[in-house]
Amino acid sequence: MQKLILILCAGLLLQCQQHSATEKPLPADFKTELWYKHSLIYNLDVEVFKDSDGDGIGDFQGLVQQLDYLKNLGVDVIWLSPFQPTPNRDDGYDVADFYGIDTRLGTRADFDEFMRQARQRGIRVIMDMVVNHTSDQHHWFQQARRSKNSPYHSWYVWSDKQPDNWDVGMVFPGVQKEIWSYDKQAGAYFYHRFYNFQPDLNAQNPAVQREIRKILKHWLDAGVSGFRLDAVPFMIEIADPEKKDYKPQFEIIDMLHKYIQWQRGDAIVLGEANVAPEDQKDYFGEDDKGMQMMFNFYANQYLFYALATGQLQPFIDAMKATKDIPSAAQWAIFLRNHDEIDLGRLSDKQREEVYARFGPQKNMQLYDRGIRRRLAPMLGDPRQIRFAYSLLFSLPGTPVIRYGEEIGMGDDLRLKESESVRTPMQWTNAPNAGFTTGSKPVKPVISQGEYGYPNVNVATESQDSTSLLNFISDLIHLRKQCPEIGLGTSTILDTGNPNVLAIRYDWQGQSLAMVHNFSTQTQQLQLPLAGKSDKRLVNLLEKTEVRAGPGGAYPLSLPGYGYQWYRMKL
């Protein structure tokens, strides 16, 4: 018996040593199932990240080669864009087999090795789950179109006649022509919110729901820590060819949440749901029923309005409108993602103001609502770029960054639609940016101009202490020292200055104050902080201190696009 106890204790000690070697220690009472609240999520597309064999296509072996780079950057979670077999007409979002690995990217053994190597470094992996639609080449659709008697026919949404709303509600207006397309083989119209080669699955069908659960289990068993669920509002809608307004079926979100939690208690769903604040509660749910995370598209749109115009109040209003979420829920916050910057919720006047500043040329705009540029060329001013990243890492929620943004990559506006921001990662100043040793990369590498790989690449910036890469890496590691941001309560302070945003965070007796000047001019303010007047503000960026003035407020001066992170101490 004594020998058995010693063996068990040794095993527990080994587990603790392994844990401490890969993860930063957290407070004793911290719940590890809330890992998504104190993480940095890094989104990448394997196809364009790193090629290991010279065929011009990124692969999982190449990704493994760069895991130490991601670990050193401070990445906690890798979000993988679609990597399953696909005709690749929509950058992999047209999935032809939900259980497989695109052979261009490697084998299942390569994927498993990547998962093992990521796990050894304490990096979690979440993956895109695109179950709103399939490729029209998926064997389900191929069988569904052959006969109405096929068991797969009801897996999709059909209409014998062209619905009246056949051209209403398109996701890609100006590019997409319809949401109901005629299929000659089936002799019927099929429903698709996206391109006509992506028929929507009928998620109301119990057989489809069972299959989705099987897919989720397959990848949870492979070790993923959750899913970025694509196009959630469209996945849960009840499509009726007789009606223009489609009702959402929120029970599907509840079903997926419960199933994922049953399979793996700490796994999460990060939802792509661009919804109005009044609808967010239906997606987050109550009593642990909804998605744990969603992208805060609403606040993001007003953030870009503030960055473009300096008018801060609409952004403050948007943050307040999206603040009331369940305690276990979290917003994912971002500057750029893999799509266009969606400005659809701004007024026409506001959108035109953002266009005028960030996308004045027509080829910079997309779908009559967005901008298809990367952050660095769009903002232009190095001061504002660094200001924007300080803001990103200090806003309420979990920060998400897209590959290449940390080095200030540019865009290629010659490419169609969102392809402009999906060019290969720029590693070195070697041919093809060190992405591939082959002569023909899968997508054009940015080689010319200010943002060409001879000027913008990881190797060069790693050696420059003043580079954007090192600046962002330092911010990421500073953010990890400030758990109050992801875990605490936030309060927007009245600075008395319409150009300055100040947010206070409180968690477990610790307090932070994050201050950002959206103006190009120096701004003075008196920062009000409730509490003991003998507290001082310790500047986490410059290692200086500020003490309260006679009125109890803290006098601050911020240069144009200036920012400071403060911790309150006695």
Nearest to 291 by CA among 342, 257, 338: 257
Active-site residue, 506 included? no
The DSSP string of 56-69 is: SS--HHHHHHTHHH
Q: State the burial class of residue 506 (Cβ atoms within 10 Å of its Cβ: 0-12, 13-18, 19+).
A: middle
Residue 43, beta-bridge partner list: 79, 402
Is the distance from CB of 391 to CB of 475 less than 8 angstroms?
Answer: no
Of the residues 230, 340, 406, 412, only one is catalytic, namely 230
Question: Out of 272, 411, 412, 461, which one is annotated catalytic?
Answer: 272
In the three-class reduction of DSSP (H, G, I as helix; E, B as strand; rest coil), residue 46 is classed as: helix
239-256: string of b/e by CB count within 10 Å (b at 16+)? bebeeeebebeeebbbbb
Whole-number Å distance between alpha carbons of 29 and 367: 47
The answer to whether the CB of 37 falls within 8 A of the CB of 269 is no
Buried b (16+ CB within 10 A) or exposed e, 268-293: bbbbbbbbebeebebbbbeeeebbbb
204 CA to centre of own chain = 27
CA distances from 149 to 143, 152, 198 (A): 10, 8, 22
Tell me the torsion sign for CA atoms 285, 290, 293, 297: negative
- In sequence order, what DSSP letters do the residues of 95-143 get, joined into one string? -S-TTS--TTT--HHHHHHHHHHHHHTT-EEEEEE--SB--TTSHHHHH
CB contact at 8 A, 256 and 228: no
Q: Are 213 and 205 in contact (CB under 8 A)?
A: no
Q: Please return the burial class of 206, using the count of CB atoms within 10 Å of its CB with bins 0-12, 13-18 and 19+.
A: exposed
Which H or E element spans position 252? helix 251-263
Active site residue 230: yes
- Please tell me the distance from the alpha carbon of residue 388 to that of residue 131, in angstroms, as a whole number: 33
Q: Is the dihedral of CA 277, 498, 359, 270 positive or negative?
A: negative
| Cα 74 from Cα 53, distance rounded (Å) | 27
Which residues are the active-site residues? 230, 272
